Structure 1
Amino acid sequence: MMNKSFVFLLVLSFSWVAAYSQDFISCVESRLSNATSISQLIFTPENASFLPIWQSRVQNARFLKDTTPKPSIIVTPTDESQVQTTFLCAKENGYRVRIRSGGHDFEGISFTDYLAFVMIDLINMRSIDVDVASKSAWVQSGAVLGELYYAISQKTNTLYFPGGTWPTVAIAGLVGGGGTGNLLRKYATAGDNVLDARIVDVNGNILDRKSMGEDLFWAIRGGVASNFGIVLSWKLNLVPVPEKVTVFIVNRTLEQGATDLFYKYQSVVPNTKDRNLYIRSQLASEFIGNTTKKTIRIIFQGIYQGSTDMLLPLLNKEFPELGVTREICREMTSIQSTLVFAGRPSTTPTEILNNRSATPRMSSKTKSSFVTTPIPKSGLRKIWRKFFENDLSGGILIIPSGGRMADYSETATPYPHRAGTLYLLASSVNFAGQTSDITPVSLRRLAWLASLEKLLTPYVSRNPRQSYVNNNDFDFGIGADNYTIASVWGERYWKRANFKKLIRIKAKVDPQNFFNHPQGIPVFSAL
């Protein structure tokens, strides 16, 4: 039987929390001049809509469990003044703040915390204003890539944004960590293509690029924007693309020469002088037919910013082993190529990119590294053998670099993985068929992923081993009591010079470290 004293304390605690929430609600009500109903703006655990709203954009299903800490309050603002008011009232009433845009955060930072917090969900702030004449677009932080690409396509087929390929990833999260995609080799990162931004700073002021200053503008384009404030909207540079691009897909197994093919791929694709060519690859193990013997299948997904007639001579000269023929090439618009790289036929109506629920959520754990020298065939065979130990839940995604990326200094933005980087290697396991990520099977999959990460050590960048901050990973360590502790994860994401610069900027714009999380940019008394 539950102790009566404990029940009393529990009831008292809930009463205190309710009163605490009411102070916040009263603060918001007193400051808002518009007619928005508080019941449509603020949601507490007592509201029937609270849990569905929280769950709706937790994109990694491994966080959808009772033990995941949830907000004390969810606010869904519709304009900048509501964001500003929400932030100030949260701060005044002792709450932390988490900002959720798309909900794809790999460690749940945008929607979970162990201390009381207000989650500002930007789901209703998703306006997009495309200006073809100036080759730019103002995009609110709650908008996702699919919506942006669709909005651009409604006005032109000869401009696009060099963002990612997954339609439900939000602009804010992508740009805030740098942002890679199919146009990386031609136009660099998403963060490199930001012209301006509007941000709520720690004092509640709304600043643009001019008023925030170049240091803060530098920091939010790769240093994770939510470390420094709440970005309301971004002015993006739209880049020229041809009316038709060429897309192709090649599948190869080990029995079909995949090892030799991937070995050459590592050198050719990142280093080709034609920046119009981009080929990402994915690999996983599978059973051979109906046998119990496994093989590795590698899928090469290519896109060329030009015609098939231009592509074929290039590949025949530089990468004939790939075997790309005219028959497997498809010319299409850029918006159609987005559908293909999202796993849909090019004939799918593009309106589906506006439907956030059309893209399934995942349940997975991902780790990332950058590769600077080709992995030798002996190393590739070790990786294949490691995959043979897996239960078909593992995979690797390769994002090639090179081209335009080498034109930028590694300190141009916080994203430092520039000249000399061949590709990003993202390894993952999924939890398909499991009720959570802590079942015995799931734990075996996580252990396998950790062993793969260890096996990769000799073949990836070192001193430091580099990782992509948009694939954030708490396994690297958390906390920042001093620079030695923080550098373990901070230098992996940003390298030393950029990490130290981020810390100095943080000390200026948020000296009390209000915007903090387990791998947030720290504030030190001395650096």
Structure 2
Amino acid sequence: MQEANMAAMSRSLALAFFFICYAASSFSSSLASSDSFLQCLSEKIPSELLYTQSSPSFTSVLEATIRNPKFLTNTTRPVWIITPTNVSHVQAAVVCGRQEGVRLRVRSGGHDYEGLSYRSERPESFAVLDLVKIRAVRVENQNATAWVDSGATLGEMYYAIGKAGNQLAFPAGLCPTVGVGGHFSGGGFGMLLRKYGLAADNVIDAVLVDAKGRLLDKNSMGSNVFWAIRGGGGESFGIVLSWKIKLVAVPPTVTAFRVPVTINQGAVDVLTRWQDVAPALPDDLIIRVVVQGQTATFQSLYLGTCDALLPVMRSRFPELGMNRSHCKEMTWIQSVPYIYLGSSATVEDILNRTIAMDTSNKATSDYVRQAITKDVWTEIFSWLAQPNAGLMILDPYGGKISSIPEAATPFPHRGGVLYNIQYMNFWRAGGGGDAQRTWIRDFYAFMAPYVSKNPREAYANYRDLDLGENVVVGGVSSYEAGKVWGEKYFKGNYQRLAMAKGEIDPDDYFRNEQSIPPLVTSGN
């Protein structure tokens, strides 16, 4: 299948080769006219796949995968939307963009927390390349691998894997509407992280269109670039169209449980204990926590039966009070909708690509390397009791994700991490959200003494522009200015990422407010 996939990609490359030679050797910063860019595209891409702001369907296509209503207004929108169906269309968009001075922003699922895959913080003229029509999933049972296109959702990927058998799975995120392209690019973790690590840890090949319009695989893009795309953040190194992933083994029966504990039931004590227990549990077991209001809800997935799980919980974490009545046995694929969508959801529900647009949100993240004391947890619950308060999601590390060296992939949050924190707050769509944003920023400041330091680490897939934005100097993003946010996401891997960017895109064609700046060395 890999050979067939690459052969098809190569045929598309051959068809597109006649226009690649016209790509500009460096990107012009001058804005192109709408007519010239559109004319260039129209010669290579069917008109029904192109949308201008005057197109009747432009707004509906743009908003179809906007996941945060606050980005529907008061932001810079694209001038064009391109919805390619094959490799040659993507190459044409890159070549025309370079030739006519139009940058591309690439969207897979639209969950980017800052919306940078389809909007800009600054006034500029750009096009969105929406990969919604490049979304195939091709599972190869015999060697436990799959090719997954970037426009597929996690739900579509999981569904195809589940159809292939009940003992194969993949370690990626919980939300089924998240797009594969952005998720894999930033690392990607979920309920299998302690057993199998990140999604990016299990990527074994990829197909990428670079800033020159070339079609590259793992070998032709080079080891530094292949390293960079597996956790270095989306939309910095080119357009990854497809990923080859290594599937992982799961038993025919897994067990999930959900145990809520209120502050009056001892949530402070249970959470304090959880910090020591959760990262040291057997790798087959993960217990994450959602802390909201005055309740901590412990959510778990165990790769085995309830009978095997109960002795582990009694001996390792009796404080939680988990018992047989909490157990829900099922197949792994059934656990996907159960954990994220609830007990009434079906496996078919994870194919639904739409989500409710009734709330806007703001998020950011932290990493905890030393357990937070009981008295601080008491203060945390007082913050969560405030008006306009948000929530915390705690994902424990340990196991596989922590055993991989920090430099093995761009994702550096490995050994020594107890857990990741995601902070989120929500407000009604159309509302201002000022109070909710103030709460999350003030709470983030309060947490500073209790989380990682030098740098204060953050997760790239929980993108937060409050951590810093790129500064463009001489037509390219500044490497030094990028350190402000880049070392929070990538620690010591930031420099190598910038060098990989310098290899594949030294002119910084693919860029946004938090893309990797190019660091061009004398050897490039």
TM over 0.5: yes
Question: 2:88 matched to 1:81?
Answer: yes
1:45 is aligned, of 47, 53, 61, to: 53
1:278 is aligned, of 269, 283, 286, to: 286
Q: Closer, same or farther in 2 for the Cα pair 1:420/1:505, shift >3 Å?
A: same
2:442 is aligned, of 434, 444, 451, to: 451
1:428 paired residue number: 424
Kindly state the Cα deviation for residue 54 of structure 1 after the two structures are TM-superposed.
0.4
Kindly state the Cα deviation for residue 210 of structure 1 after the two structures are TM-superposed.
1.0
Q: Closer, same or farther in 2 for the Cα pair 1:189/1:283, shift >3 Å?
A: same
Instruction: Output the amino acid matched with 1:267.
Output: D
Kindly state the Cα deviation for residue 217 of structure 1 after the two structures are TM-superposed.
0.5
What TM-score, normalized by structure 1, do the two folds share?
A: 0.89
1:93 paired residue number: 100
Kindly state the Cα deviation for residue 460 of structure 1 after the two structures are TM-superposed.
0.4
Question: 2:390 matched to 1:394?
Answer: yes
Question: 2:411 matched to 1:409?
Answer: no
Q: Following superposition of structure 1 onto structure 2, how do residues 18-417 of structure 1 map, counting pairs within 5 Å?
A: 20-31=33-44, 37-38=46-47, 40-65=48-73, 67-113=74-120, 114-272=123-281, 274-285=282-293, 296-345=294-343, 348-357=345-354, 362-391=359-388, 393-417=389-413
Instruction: Output the amino acid matched with 1:51.
Output: T
SS in 2 for 1:342: helix
Distance (whole Å) between structure 2 residues aligned to residue 359 and residue 158 of structure 1: 32
Q: Closer, same or farther in 2 for the Cα pair 1:228/1:362, shift >3 Å?
A: farther
Distance (whole Å) between structure 1 residues aligned to residue 355 and residue 509 of structure 2: 36
What TM-score, normalized by structure 2, do the two folds share?
A: 0.90
Q: Following superposition of structure 1 onto structure 2, how do residues 441-520 of structure 1 map, counting pairs within 5 Å?
A: 442-480=433-471, 482-495=478-491, 497-520=492-515
Distance (whole Å) between structure 2 residues aligned to residue 451 and residue 169 of structure 1: 28
Distance (whole Å) between structure 2 residues aligned to residue 454 and residue 299 of structure 1: 24
Please list the CA deviations of residues 164-190 of structure 1 after superposition, one character each: whole Å capped at 9, or x if unmatched.
000000111111000110000000000
Whether the aligned pair in 2 keeps the contact of 1:59 and 1:362 (CA below 8 Å) is no
Whether the aligned pair in 2 keeps the contact of 1:168 and 1:359 (CA below 8 Å) is no
Q: Closer, same or farther in 2 for the Cα pair 1:365/1:130, shift >3 Å?
A: same
Distance (whole Å) between structure 2 residues aligned to residue 198 and residue 101 of structure 1: 15
Distance (whole Å) between structure 2 residues aligned to residue 26 and residue 388 of structure 1: 57
Instruction: Output the amino acid matched with 2:364.
Output: K
How many residues are treated as equivalent by the alignment? 486
Kindly state the Cα deviation for residue 28 of structure 1 after the two structures are TM-superposed.
2.2
2:415 paired residue number: 419
Distance (whole Å) between structure 2 residues aligned to residue 459 and residue 84 of structure 1: 47
Q: Closer, same or farther in 2 for the Cα pair 1:239/1:359, shift >3 Å?
A: farther
Please list the CA deviations of residues 179-223 of structure 1 after superposition, one character each: whole Å capped at 9, or x if unmatched.
110000000000000010000011100000011111100000010
Distance (whole Å) between structure 2 residues aligned to residue 155 and residue 523 of structure 1: 41
Whether the aligned pair in 1 keeps the contact of 2:103 and 2:125 (CA below 8 Å) is yes
Whether the aligned pair in 2 keeps the contact of 1:176 and 1:191 (CA below 8 Å) is yes
SS in 1 for 2:341: coil
Kindly state the Cα deviation for residue 19 of structure 1 after the two structures are TM-superposed.
9.0
Distance (whole Å) between structure 2 residues aligned to residue 402 and residue 18 of structure 1: 49
Distance (whole Å) between structure 2 residues aligned to residue 265 and residue 362 of structure 1: 31
Kindly state the Cα deviation for residue 139 of structure 1 after the two structures are TM-superposed.
0.7
1:290 paired residue number: none
Q: Closer, same or farther in 2 for the Cα pair 1:525/1:404, shift >3 Å?
A: closer
SS in 2 for 1:196: strand
Whether the aligned pair in 1 keeps the contact of 2:338 and 2:345 (CA below 8 Å) is no
The worse-fitting range, judged by mean Cα deviation, of 478-487 and 80-89 is: 478-487
SS in 2 for 1:242: coil
Kindly state the Cα deviation for residue 397 of structure 1 after the two structures are TM-superposed.
0.6
Please list the CA deviations of residues 93-119 of structure 1 after superposition, one character each: whole Å capped at 9, or x if unmatched.
110100000000011110012311110
Whether the aligned pair in 2 keeps the contact of 1:409 and 1:418 (CA below 8 Å) is yes
Distance (whole Å) between structure 2 residues aligned to residue 62 and residue 341 of structure 1: 27
Distance (whole Å) between structure 2 residues aligned to residue 362 and residue 417 of structure 1: 30
The worse-fitting range, judged by mean Cα deviation, of 102-111 and 382-391 is: 382-391
Segments of 5+ residues of structure 2 without an aligned counterpart are 1-29
SS in 2 for 1:252: strand
